[in-house]
Amino acid sequence: MISRARSVVIVAFAWVAGLLMAFHPTLLSGFRLMQRDLGDTRFNNYLLEHHWQWIVGAAGVPSFWDPAMGFPLSGGLGYSDIMLTFAPFYWVWRLFSIDPETSFQLWTLAIATTNYAAMWLLLRRMMKFDVLAATFGAFVFAFAAARIAQLGHAQLMPQFYVLGVLASAMVLFGDSPRGDFSGTEAARRDHIAIGSMAACICAQFWGGFYVGYFAALIAAVALALGLGLRAHRASILEKLRVRAASICMAGIASIAVLSPLVLRYLAASAHSWKFGVGAGEKRLPRLASYLFVGPDSVVYGWMANWPVFRNLPEAHEQAIGLGLVTTAVLLYVAWQRRHHPVTRFTCILIAILFVALTWFPFEIRLWRLWYYSVPGLAAIRAVSRIGLFLLIPAAIALAWWVHSRGTLFSARVALLVALACCLEQGIAAPAFDKHAWQCRLERIAAEVDRDSQAFYLLGTGSGTDNLDALLVSQRIGIPTINFYSGRIPKVWTLSRFQHHPATQTSEIEEELIRYLETQKVSPESVQVLRQPDPERCEPNRELRSFPLRRRARGVELVEKKL
C-alpha cells in the first residue's frame, strides 16, 4: 500500500508533468507565448474579460448580454458560448491586476488542473481505484491530445461539470438493494445526487453549449437505453417513481435557470444565418477520425500525411483519436469486462452514438435523420467534438488496467503500457507571441478618437481583424462596429467583407454607410481605422502616448499607416 506522503508526490508529479507536456510553449517561454491561435483563442479571452468588466462595472459594458461589438446591435453574447460558469477561474487572476492575456493563460492551466482533480476524485473516491491507477486515468483525461488539440476552442476544455453529472448518476443509480430507497440516509443521498446533477448540467450549459448539449444528449440516450434493457428497466423505473418529487423540483429549477439562456440562443438563432444540414454533416467524424491524433502530435504527427488522414475534412476538428496504445487498452478492458452489467451498458451506449453520428464509407450516415428530429441538434456544426467524451471511458479503462496490474500482466508491463498511454498524448501546440499582439492593439487603440461614438477597423483579409477591433474596444471602452462570433446577425451586413482586404475601400465605405443609416446611427459619429503594418512590434510605453487623430466630418478613412 502506498503511503500518504508518497501518494501526494505521485499525484503532484503527474500533475506537473501533464501541465508541462500540454502547455510547454506557455510555461517554458515565461508566459510570453500564448496557445493556440489568433482566432478563437483570443475570442474566448475576450468573453472572459467581458464578464470581468461587467462585474467591476467597467465603461463600455452596458449589460451582461451586450459586449461592445457590432454597434449598435444588442444581445451579442447570445451568438456565442457564454463562458460564465468557467469565468471564476479567470476572475481570481484579474483580482490581482494581472493582465487579461496572462490571466487567460493561467485560466487554461486552472481548467486543466480542475479536470485532473475532478477525474482523480471520481476514480479514487467513487470507483475505489488505487492512487496510482487514479493518477494515470486522470492524466489521460486532463492532458489528452484530443483535448489539447482543441485549445483554440477553449470553451471545450472544461469537462469537470460533466464528471459531476456522472458522479451524481452513479450515486443515484448505483448498487442498492431493490426497493431500499425509503431510509433517511438513502433519501438524503439521492436528493443531493439529483440536485447536484441538475446543477452541473445547468453550469455546463452556462459555460459552453457544445459540451453541455452533448452531455444532455448522451444522458437522454443513456436513460432511454436503460429503460429499453430488461436488466436495468425495473430498478430505473423504481428509482424514478420513488424520487419523482425531487426530480420534478430539480427539473423545474433547471428550466428556470436555463430559460434566460435558451431564450437568448433562440433569439440569436432567429436573427442569424442558418448553418444548414450540410454544416454539421461535413464535420461528422469518419472512421479514421477515431485514430487521428492530428498533425501536431509528437508521436503520431508524421501519420497526418497518410491518405486516410490527409483527406479528412477540416482535419483540426477530426483529431479526436485517443492514441493507438490508449485505444488498445480501452478495447482490451472492454473485452475483459464484457460480462459486467455497467461495461455492457456503456459499450452499447457508445455503439449507438457511434452508429448515429459517424460518416461511414460509401457516404453512409444517419445525420439527416437526427438533424430534423432531435431538438437543438441543428445548432451543432462540429459533431466530431463529441469525441472528447471518449476520454471518460478511456480514463476509466486505463485506471482499471493499472489497478489490475500483476493479475493479467506483470506489474512492470502494465505500468509501461500505462506510461506509453500518457506519453502518446504529447502535442507540439502552436503558439504566438502575445507581447507583439498586445503592442499591435495598443497602436490601434492609440489612434481611436475618444470622442467617437464608435469605430470600425478595416481589415487585411486575415480573418482576425474583427477580433482585433473587439479587443481594442474592450481596452478603451468605445464600441466597435466590427463583429466576431460563431454566428453572424443577418443585419450585420459587413460580414461579407470580413475576409477581404481594405483595398476595397469604396465598397466597404458604401456598405458601412448603408449599415449605419439602417441602424439610425450618424456616419459623422464614426471613425474608421486601418490595421497597422504587419512588421514585428515590441512593447514600448511610448506607444501609449501617440497623439489622437482629430475626427473629420463624415466617415473618416485613415489613409496613413499607423
Q: What residues form DSSP beta bridges with 480?
A: 455
Mean pLDDT of 508-529: 91
Q: Considering the domain boundaries, does residue 529 fall inside one?
A: yes
Q: Where are the beta strands (DSSP E) in 371-436?
A: 432-433
Q: What is the pLDDT of residue 553?
A: 34
**414 lies in the same domain as 488:** no
Give a yes or no: residue 252 inside a domain: yes
Q: In the chain, pLDDT over 90 holds for what percent of residues?
A: 78
Residues 353 and 216 in one domain: yes
Stretch 145-151: mean pLDDT, rounded? 95
Do 102 and 121 sit in the same domain of this protein? yes
Same domain, 501 and 399: no
pLDDT (average), residues 191-210: 97
Query: Does residue 341 surpass a pLDDT of 80?
Result: yes
3-state secondary structure of 80: coil
Tell me: do 363 and 473 sit in the same domain: no
Task: Quote the mean pLDDT of the chain.
Answer: 90
Residue 116's alpha-carbon distances to 112, 144, 313, 320, in angstroms, are: 6, 11, 31, 19
384 or 180: whose pLDDT is higher? 384
Counting residues of the chain whose pLDDT is more than 70, the rounded percentage is: 91
Q: What is the pLDDT of residue 406?
A: 80
Residue type, 65: W
The radius of gyration computed from the CA coordinates of the chain, to the nearest angstrom, equals: 25
pLDDT for 503 equals 55
pLDDT value of position 545: 26
Residues 161 and 214 in one domain: yes
Looking at the structure, tell me whether residues 419 and 449 fall in a common domain: no
204 and 319 share one domain: yes
* Inside any domain, residue 44: no
Q: Rounded to an integer, what distance in angstroms lies between the CA atom of residue 318 and that of residue 301?
A: 14
- Residue 545 vs residue 102, higher pLDDT: 102
Entry pTM: 0.93
Cell of 219: 444522458
N residues, the chain: 562
The residue out of 423, 443, 464 marking a domain boundary is 423
What's the pLDDT score for residue 537?
60
Taking 3-state DSSP, the helix, strand and coil percentages for the chain, each rounded to the nearest 5, stand at 65, 5, 30
- The last residue of one of the domains, among 423, 454, 469, is 423
CA atoms within 13 A on the CB side of 497: 25
Among candidate residues 395, 423, 451, the one where a domain is terminated: 423
In a domain, 267, yes or no: yes
As for how many domains the chain has, the answer is 2
The DSSP bridge pattern shows strands 556-557 and 526-529 to be parallel
Mean pLDDT across the stretch 182-197?
90
Res 536: pLDDT: 52
Domain membership flag for residue 202 = yes
3-state secondary structure 431-478: CEEHHHHHHHHHHHHHCCCCCCCEEEECCECCCCHHHHHHHHHHHHCC
What is the rounded CA–CA span in Å between residue 277 and residue 326?
33
**With 60 as the cut, is the pLDDT of residue 439 above it?**
yes
- Confidence band, pLDDT 50/70/90 cuts, at residue 177: very low
Same domain, 218 and 304: yes
Instruction: List the domain range (segments joined by +) for residue 544.
Output: 433-557
Region 22-26: what's the mean pLDDT?
96
Furthest-apart CA atoms within the chain: distance in Å: 82
The arithmetic mean of pLDDT across residues 277-286, rounded, is: 92
What's the rounded Cα separation, in Å, for the pair 548 and 47? Answer: 28
Give the pLDDT of residue 127.
Answer: 96
- Residue found under cell 448518476: 169
Residues 177 and 206 grouped into a single domain:
yes
Please tell me whether residues 386 and 448 are part of one structural domain: no
pLDDT of residue 501: 59
C-alpha cell at 562: 499607423
pLDDT recorded at residue 3:
82
Judged against a pLDDT cut of 50, whether residue 216 lies above it is answered with: yes
Looking at residue 462, its pLDDT comes to 67
Q: Are residues 354 and 452 in the same domain?
A: no
pLDDT of residue 434: 93
DSSP 170-203: HHHSSS--TT---SHHHHHHHHHHHHHHHHHHHH
**In b/e form, how buried is each residue of 518-536, taking b as 16+ CB within 10 angstroms?**
eeebebeebbbbbbbeeee
Q: Give tens-digit pLDDT for 43-80.
A: 999 999 999 999 999 888 889 999 989 999 999 999 99
Flag whether 62 is in a domain: no
- DSSP code, position 546: P
Task: Quote the pLDDT of residue 407.
Answer: 82
Q: Is 187 contained in some domain? A: yes
Mean pLDDT of 370-399: 95
At 29 the pLDDT is 96
For residue 119, is it within any domain? yes
The per-residue pLDDT for 318 is 95
Residue 526, C-alpha cell as written in the block = 464614426
